[in-house]
Structure 1
Amino acid sequence: MVNLEHLKEYLENISYFSDSVITGDYIGTNQKRIKLKIVFPYHFPVVLPKIYVINLDELNLFIPHLEYDGLICYTPSNNVIFDRSNTEVITIIALKKAIKTLEDGIQGVNESEFRKEFIAFWDRQKNLQPIIFFASANDEIKTLEIFENNKDIIINDDVLKNKEAMYRFFPTNTEKSDSMDTLYLPLRSKNKVLPPNPRKGWTKKKLLNIVRKNCTQAKKAYFDKWINKKNDKGKLLILKIPISENNEVLIGYWLNATKQSIKKYTGPISPLYVRRFDFTYLLERTSGEHSFTNLNICIVGVGSVGSKLSNELANLGVAKMTLIDPEKFEADNLFRHELGVDGIKYGKPKLKVEVLQQDLEKKNPYLEVAVESMDILDIISSDPNYFDQFDYSFICIGDTMHSLEINRFFSKSNNKVFYSWVEPLGIGGHVLYIDYCKKGCFQCLNTDPNTGNIISNRSSLVKPGQTIEKTLASCRSAFVPYSSLTSREAAVKTVELFHKIVYKEITKNSVLTWLGDFKNFKDIGYQFSDRFTKNKNYFPTVESNFINNKCEICGVKP
């Protein structure tokens, strides 16, 4: 229990309403009596007390951080650390913060916070009608199309990828509608539009004034022409309001102005809750990085590493991807592959690239995936310029001889290529980045620096001469043993290096080596390479000093 005497410095008429509720009056600097209620949650003091303004309707307070039900948001809700041992101190500090929040609002000190909480205030309006938005939220004024899916109203434009995304979210019963005349209008970036008071909303006059004062002359002329147009449709207006850099809100209004212009319309205007499904917004809900959205990449080999890499790249925002792999998805792949049982339904294996394409596009509605069910060596034989269309290529096949041949092919090009492979039993892995305009290539790692002979990969963590392979019943089932955790880490490390390359944090051809769990490897009795023994305390490392003068491709020609 809190001693009420200690709260009298801040409140009048203090009393316990119940064991978990204290009430009292705070006299604001505006000389108004603000009735407060301090509620102690069941898990107090692990959970901070909630403080409400009881007489909110009487006061007609409209200030930042004051919720519709009177709750004062006096502190961030996540990861607040405090000493739970003194409940009285916690209560006093909470009360002081709540009072400061009120006073900052009353005195107009934090008016800018209104804009940061624009949607929070907007969404508190009564009778808010939801719509779903897929169109590109750019800076172009434009008319939009209306679609209906059962009771859902969907807004879209004529951009193909947005239409495709809409049909992936709503694959059935989505039909175009002519029921409304819809306009999308972006306001100036430097605007000072504040959210409406949820109890009052905006009038039609207020809405029109906000638009006219906060858009260019060209957009204003377009808007005036639109509101003066008469037709048999209702009017739907979507406004984009920039709040700050990389922060914008979309709001909307519906006006049932049939057979008359908006200018002469005297009926109600209905606010809309815009549920954003547009690509830019969804990307901003992650790291908000746009450097990857226009890249066209390909992945060669969509086994355990390549399949997981495809998902990581899609989640990064890559919007165009080609998958290359001739193999079918077998039950043997199930426990370390990104795909599940859909790849082998009814016991009929399907091509990895086709099943993964369906899986990726299902999970990432803005991702465009193309596939080639061919061996990469067949592709480069038949079409030597095939890989020129890609900004980056990722080779995840794990086979050294194939990789050396692919490296030889790329050495005659200007392509940018990542090679990603793992070590047996999950002891680690490597990612090699090569810009073929520069020195350093895959063969540099497989060339003896003294003799120039082809040898085991010099970056390897395993001592050469050991066969680390597992078979089940026959040699046809031989495979290199490692777990799904290893392939997941390989994919993550590949994306990490890719990220640094795209942002030019690394500009040289480089090899990244990372360690996994090597206890099992050691317990079985396998031997580590000299590189592992000398550097195990320094991994992960990114090295660019692997250029080999004896390399047939990069070395000094005699």
Structure 2
Amino acid sequence: MSDVYTIENLDLTELFTEVQAVDVHQLKSERSQFLNVFEGKMSVSEMQFTIQLALPSHFPLKKPMYFLKNRQEAGFIPHIEPDGFICYSHDEGVLLDRNNPKGIIHESFQRAKRTLEEGVLKLNSEDFLVEFEALWSRQEGICRVDAIITPEERFKKILVFHDEKRRKSILLDRINESIVQYLNNLYSSRVLDEFKESKGIYIPLRKSSSLRPPAFWETWDIKDYRHLINNNITASTKKRLKQYLKKKLIQKGDEEYIVLGIPILNEQRALIGLRLSDFRAEQGKGKHFPFLHPLRKKQAAFELSPLDIKRHDKGYLLNRTQGHSRISDKRVTVVGLGSLGSRICFELAQAGIGRFTLVDKDSLDIDNVYRHELGISDVYFKGTERYYHFPKTEAMKRAMKNKFPFIEVDYETSDILEILHEEPQLLLDSDLVIIALGSPTEELYLNEMIRQMEWTIPIIFTWLDPLGLGGHALSTKKGTKGCFQCLFSRPDAPRRLIANQASFAAPGQNFRKSLAGCQSVFTPYGSIDALETAVMATRLALRVLTGEEKDNPLMSWKGDPSELLRQGYHLSKRYEFSSDKLFDTRFLYKNENCLICQTGETP
């Protein structure tokens, strides 16, 4: 692979006419440091464009870049940036054959040409909608603000909080306890007390509207925006906007914010904004405060700033993480908030679950910090006269709300056995119960009792094998075959309990260890083992909640047995199964004579 690239060894005359090498400083872009720049003519739909081909300093590890020398030459078309850059391919996931730089150039040339051609022929005009927010954000003088606004199809008033000293603003369409907590966490401030408050409006444009943002070289004034709004809103929106403008007067020192909901593809809306500030009388006009709102009539001079809106609304953020909108209202009860249960809570929240009930009777112990989702700051809280241990439930709620303020978290710092008898409704109100106690005796009892309840509640039991050997998750539901009891009994002797048949460790071995006597007894496993099992259990939970999983599978993953064998322990026969076989046999654990799920009797 040569480090010297020329017109000849790249065969650029096959691509361009009038091609020549030019000084890299002739390229007016700061996207990269460049090795070479070549300039030539590209034929697109009977038109000739002057194109600059730039090879980044790390080419061919980095893709070549193509620029329109005159960015206005093709008009305002999608995928052409303010510096003339032709966005023909995204960097994420791109694979380049670094041993074939000529091939990279020729393939990328065709893609850049196709992008330009589709724009010139208006074949990709819909992309203006898809890229609306991105194109809007390229304007000169753009101001960046945060927003928690749910794009709806109705006109509404909004609030704006602004830290003038640090030049940070956030726009809100509602305010409640969760949002206040979110703001305080986001800015490390008491926002309602420390930020200046302003007002604004949200205006949804019609779904049928055919829109494009201002070209990079254009500057829209209030007349342009007034025309855009009035020609692209429904009759009901126009009526509500007119009512608002009739009452609204601009006073000295006011700032007015306008957010537009732009209809894009797949029933989504982009958000763009305007800030109107520094209102003042125009010389010679004889008008004084108060003024009419500029969307009604321009009576004053003012500064108009386009706003690039960084969205914080839950629906938008979940769409970026493949969050399931259909599970956002589901309630999951997690019983047991140890290293496994705590991680499952966070994984489920990140997947889009919106409501939780947490159950655990214990406090976080410093012994478990290195394998728990909580940390050192969750061990104590400071009272007026002494330090107290944080209950895991309360600490988990605090940690989860700090990261995901829009979720709802209830908790019970109680023994699940007491709850089962005294407050069973707590479980009945759930869409799914996940049990991660690590206590098979209690879990077998819960399996039996929950199946006897009036309502059909899906349950997932999940647990770890010792010493990194693996982890398991089993789903079960009343009225279906396959339950936790099946793992602890055989068809020929259903009343006799045996060791868990899912385990990858041979039965009859004691893995419990102690570092400081009986009070510190624990089962050895690592944080990564808990995380792996939590991910597996979360995937199963999502499949159950969305209805994709109709049966009751036993899911298992296998770890490295080296440490277990080094310590003289033994593997079970099941460990010999391949990962494929573990999956293929996920329903074969069911005991045809199980006293719980087959006959409903009590053992």
TM-score by length of 1: 0.91
| Paired residues for 1:119-130 under 5 Å | 119-130=133-144
Assess, with a 3 A threshold, how the Cα gap between structure 1 residues 479 and 178 changes in structure 2: closer, same or farther: closer
Corresponding residue for residue 61 of structure 1:
75
Shift of 1:13: 4.3
| Paired residues for 1:32-43 under 5 Å | 34-43=49-58
Q: Residue type of the partner of 2:62?
A: V
CA contact (8 A) 1:325 1:373 kept: yes
Corresponding residue for residue 290 of structure 1:
325
**Structure 2 residue 465 is the aligned partner of structure 1 residue 432:** no
SS of the residue corresponding to residue 403 of structure 1 reads helix
| Structure 1 stretch displaced more, 111-120 or 97-106 | 97-106
Corresponding residue for residue 494 of structure 1:
537
Corresponding residue for residue 342 of structure 1:
377
Corresponding residue for residue 421 of structure 2:
381
Shift of 1:15: 2.7
Assess, with a 3 A threshold, how the Cα gap between structure 1 residues 73 and 430 changes in structure 2: closer, same or farther: same
Deviations 1:435-476, CA, capped at 9 Å, x for gaps: 224343322322332222222223333332222222224233
CA contact (8 A) 1:168 1:365 kept: no
Corresponding residue for residue 167 of structure 1:
184
SS of the residue corresponding to residue 294 of structure 1 reads coil
| Structure 1 stretch displaced more, 534-543 or 189-198 | 534-543
Assess, with a 3 A threshold, how the Cα gap between structure 1 residues 288 and 247 changes in structure 2: closer, same or farther: farther
SS of the residue corresponding to residue 472 of structure 2 reads strand
Of 238, 252, 265 in structure 2, the residue corresponding to residue 244 of structure 1 is 265
Assess, with a 3 A threshold, how the Cα gap between structure 1 residues 370 and 31 changes in structure 2: closer, same or farther: same
CA contact (8 A) 1:3 1:88 kept: no
Assess, with a 3 A threshold, how the Cα gap between structure 1 residues 391 and 29 changes in structure 2: closer, same or farther: closer
Assess, with a 3 A threshold, how the Cα gap between structure 1 residues 36 and 380 changes in structure 2: closer, same or farther: same
| Paired residues for 1:384-399 under 5 Å | 384-399=424-439
Corresponding residue for residue 328 of structure 1:
363
Of 467, 484, 491 in structure 2, the residue corresponding to residue 442 of structure 1 is 484
| Paired residues for 1:16-31 under 5 Å | 16-18=21-23, 20-26=35-41
Corresponding residue for residue 355 of structure 1:
395
SS of the residue corresponding to residue 40 of structure 1 reads strand
Shift of 1:546: 4.1
| Paired residues for 1:377-526 under 5 Å | 377-413=417-453, 414=455, 415-451=457-493, 452-526=495-569
- In 1, distance between residues paired with 2:276 and 2:78? 29
Assess, with a 3 A threshold, how the Cα gap between structure 1 residues 50 and 532 changes in structure 2: closer, same or farther: closer
Q: Residue type of the partner of 1:17?
A: V
Q: Number of aligned residue pairs: give it.
A: 557
**Structure 2 residue 111 is the aligned partner of structure 1 residue 97:** yes
Assess, with a 3 A threshold, how the Cα gap between structure 1 residues 136 and 18 changes in structure 2: closer, same or farther: closer
Assess, with a 3 A threshold, how the Cα gap between structure 1 residues 467 and 254 changes in structure 2: closer, same or farther: same
Corresponding residue for residue 259 of structure 1:
291
SS of the residue corresponding to residue 56 of structure 1 reads coil
**Structure 2 residue 218 is the aligned partner of structure 1 residue 200:** yes
CA contact (8 A) 1:243 1:249 kept: yes
CA contact (8 A) 1:179 1:234 kept: no
Long gaps (5+) in structure 2: 25-34, 280-289, 382-386
Deviations 1:99-155, CA, capped at 9 Å, x for gaps: 333333223232222222212210111111222211322333211122234432221
| Paired residues for 1:8-19 under 5 Å | 8=13, 10-18=15-23
- In 2, distance between residues paired with 1:68 and 1:189? 28
Deviations 1:347-378, CA, capped at 9 Å, x for gaps: 97432222222222212222222222211112
CA contact (8 A) 1:514 1:540 kept: no
**Structure 2 residue 7 is the aligned partner of structure 1 residue 3:** yes
Corresponding residue for residue 228 of structure 2:
210
- In 2, distance between residues paired with 1:396 and 1:228? 60
- In 2, distance between residues paired with 1:386 and 1:372? 9
Of 56, 81, 87 in structure 1, the residue corresponding to residue 95 of structure 2 is 81
Long gaps (5+) in structure 1: none
CA contact (8 A) 2:142 2:305 kept: yes
Shift of 1:487: 0.8
Corresponding residue for residue 219 of structure 1:
237
Assess, with a 3 A threshold, how the Cα gap between structure 1 residues 22 and 134 changes in structure 2: closer, same or farther: closer
Shift of 1:9: 5.1
- In 2, distance between residues paired with 1:157 and 1:202? 26
Output the aligned Cα RMSD: 2.9
- In 2, distance between residues paired with 1:12 and 1:506? 59
- In 2, distance between residues paired with 1:363 and 1:178? 25
Shift of 1:297: 1.4
Deviations 1:13-40, CA, capped at 9 Å, x for gaps: 4332238444434265587764332222
Q: Residue type of the partner of 2:465?
A: E
SS of the residue corresponding to residue 283 of structure 1 reads helix
Assess, with a 3 A threshold, how the Cα gap between structure 1 residues 484 and 174 changes in structure 2: closer, same or farther: same
Shift of 1:302: 0.7
- In 1, distance between residues paired with 2:588 and 2:44? 68
CA contact (8 A) 1:326 1:351 kept: yes
Of 206, 209, 213 in structure 2, the residue corresponding to residue 188 of structure 1 is 206
Assess, with a 3 A threshold, how the Cα gap between structure 1 residues 462 and 198 changes in structure 2: closer, same or farther: same
CA contact (8 A) 1:515 1:539 kept: no
Assess, with a 3 A threshold, how the Cα gap between structure 1 residues 8 and 449 changes in structure 2: closer, same or farther: closer
Shift of 1:197: 0.8
| Structure 1 stretch displaced more, 426-435 or 88-97 | 88-97
- In 2, distance between residues paired with 1:439 and 1:9? 68
CA contact (8 A) 2:432 2:545 kept: no
CA contact (8 A) 1:156 1:163 kept: no
- In 2, distance between residues paired with 1:496 and 1:47? 36
Assess, with a 3 A threshold, how the Cα gap between structure 1 residues 541 and 361 changes in structure 2: closer, same or farther: farther
Q: Residue type of the partner of 2:141?
A: N
Shift of 1:202: 3.5
Assess, with a 3 A threshold, how the Cα gap between structure 1 residues 221 and 542 changes in structure 2: closer, same or farther: farther
- In 1, distance between residues paired with 2:344 and 2:68? 51
- In 1, distance between residues paired with 2:196 and 2:518? 64
- In 2, distance between residues paired with 1:363 and 1:381? 33
Q: Residue type of the partner of 1:16?
A: A
Assess, with a 3 A threshold, how the Cα gap between structure 1 residues 455 and 29 changes in structure 2: closer, same or farther: closer
Assess, with a 3 A threshold, how the Cα gap between structure 1 residues 299 and 179 changes in structure 2: closer, same or farther: closer
CA contact (8 A) 2:149 2:313 kept: yes
- In 2, distance between residues paired with 1:274 and 1:131? 5
| Structure 1 stretch displaced more, 384-393 or 170-179 | 170-179
Assess, with a 3 A threshold, how the Cα gap between structure 1 residues 16 and 141 changes in structure 2: closer, same or farther: same
Corresponding residue for residue 310 of structure 1:
345
**Structure 2 residue 77 is the aligned partner of structure 1 residue 48:** no
Identity level (%): 28
